[in-house]
Amino acid sequence: MKVLIKKAKVIAPNSAYHQKVVDILIDKGVIKEIGDISSTVSKTIDAKGLYVSTGFMDMRAFSMEPGFESMESLESLAAAAAKGGFTEVAIMPNTKPIIQSKESVKYFQHFSQGSLTSLLPTAAVTKDTAGEDFTEMWDLLAAGVTAFTDGSKPLWNSDILYKTLQYLYPKKALLMNRAEEPTLAAFGQMHEGITSTMMGTKGIPSEAEELMVMRDLKLLEYANLEHDNSLLHFSCISTAAAVRLIRRAKQKGLAVSCDIAAHQLAFIDEDLAGFDTNLKVNPPFRSKKDIKALQKGLADGTIDAIVSDHHPLDEEHKNMEFDLADFGVIGLQTAFAAALTHSEQNLETIIACFTENPRKLLNKTQPKIEEGELANLTVFNPEEKINFELKDIISKSKNSPFIGKELKGKIYATFHKGFSEIF
């Protein structure tokens, strides 16, 4: 099928067409021509204010298949990702069974062969993500995993984290960790502050995140491993203290990186006063001061990527008393729009956090917007407003904090591996 994208502004620093308004002709998944094009095609994408970038990559999403397919299947996950502009998504290992064998890696690789969205499995650092014994990491690297992490669980064992850094260093593989000291955060339901006190709810203090970041950075420095890319990556930081610590570590030359969840920019702890379980996330929504720190971290490059932290949960796990409900929200469809709406950053900064930076951190090939290249593209309008409603949700689970909210940033199409989705 021939598809013509008309008058779209290219945002791709590695392309000769960066910041230029061009037509792009895609035929059988290949960029055939770029310029001012008049051609008979099967489909034309022509709308005011179009932009095109390389396809978005998400560094953190949870698959409920295998194990919990009623909450999300691979098909619905991939469809939600494409609708959100993502062509590649890193999957956390917290499936059932845990992603810790070659067979579990192949499960996602096999699905991805026939899907527009490539689901890239990360593998567990420790067996069953229990934090006590190592998985066969080199075998898993050979099988094609993108990085190592215990996903939703922090690596609480300092010796495990330190040895993992040493173990993965020769392979230049990325270790990703959730910055939370688990005993300090135990039984917490939301950010610890005035609002949690007034609600009578056990809080998760900012110090739980800060202490883990301090520990991990100290161990990274102690390991004394030099690398031109990141070796240690913090997933979903949420506090001003964490941003300051990582900024200083980067200034010292440590091989460290971090990301934030897009929804962390949109809500604060005060928004939970109504006990809405769709706002129950971990790390929790923090304060206005923390959001300002996250925005500053994006602006100065301390924060490398923005992720969806997509975590589908059904009514059984969300529609209950606040303290019993599970943590997590769906985010693949809204991550880009939430970042555009609430980050207060320019478009190029946001696009870098969804395209170049995640691929660099995960050692993935950077797609190119050039003639003759395979099309790995996202087409969007960053200014067009959308009203996100329940009927718009493609995921099987509906646990979104953005239902009924107005956002800006509409996805028009995604292209990858010869497949295309035009919305």
pLDDT digit string (tens) for 334-363? 999 999 999 999 999 999 999 999 999 999
Range of the domain at 193: 55-361
With residue 302 as reference, give the H or E element that holds it. Answer: none
Question: What pLDDT is attached to residue 226?
Answer: 84
| 227 pLDDT more than 90 | no
The CATH code of the domain that includes 9 is: 2.30.40.10
Residues 42 and 59 in one domain: no
Residues 169 and 287 in one domain: yes
Three-state secondary-structure class, residue 222: helix
Mean pLDDT to the nearest integer, 276-282: 98
Give domain status of residue 393, yes or no: no
Give domain status of residue 396, yes or no: no
Question: What pLDDT is attached to residue 260?
Answer: 98
- Residue in this structure with the two tokens 């067409």, named with its chain if needed: 17
Residues 79 and 131 in one domain: yes
Other beta carbons within 10 Å of 137: 20
Q: Cis before residue 97, ω within 30 degrees of 0?
A: yes
Q: Write out the two tokens for 172.
A: 């230049």
Active-site amino acid positions: 309
Residues 19 and 64 in one domain: no
- Tens digit of pLDDT for each residue in 171-210? 999 999 999 999 999 999 999 999 999 999 999 999 999 9
Q: Cis before residue 382, ω within 30 degrees of 0?
A: no
Give domain status of residue 262, yes or no: yes
Q: Write out the two tokens for 340.
A: 């555009």
Supply the DSSP symbol for 16.
T
Residues 85 and 148 in one domain: yes
Q: How far is CA 51 from CA 216, 253, 415, in A?
A: 39, 35, 14
Give domain status of residue 10, yes or no: yes
- Tens digit of pLDDT for each residue in 43-89? 999 999 999 999 999 999 999 999 999 999 999 999 999 999 999 99
Residues 244 and 192 in one domain: yes
Distance CA 305, CA 317 (A): 29
Residues 146 and 247 in one domain: yes
Give domain status of residue 130, yes or no: yes
Distance CA 223, CA 345 (A): 35
Residues 158 and 44 in one domain: no
Distance CA 369, CA 226 (A): 32
Residues 64 and 172 in one domain: yes
Give domain status of residue 128, yes or no: yes
Residues 347 and 414 in one domain: no
Number of domains in the chain: 2
The CATH code of the domain that includes 185 is: 3.20.20.140
Mean pLDDT to the nearest integer, 375-387: 98
Give domain status of residue 121, yes or no: yes
In single-letter form, the type of residue at position 319 comes to N
Give domain status of residue 416, yes or no: yes
Residues 7 and 133 in one domain: no
Residues 47 and 60 in one domain: no
Question: What pLDDT is attached to residue 228?
Answer: 86
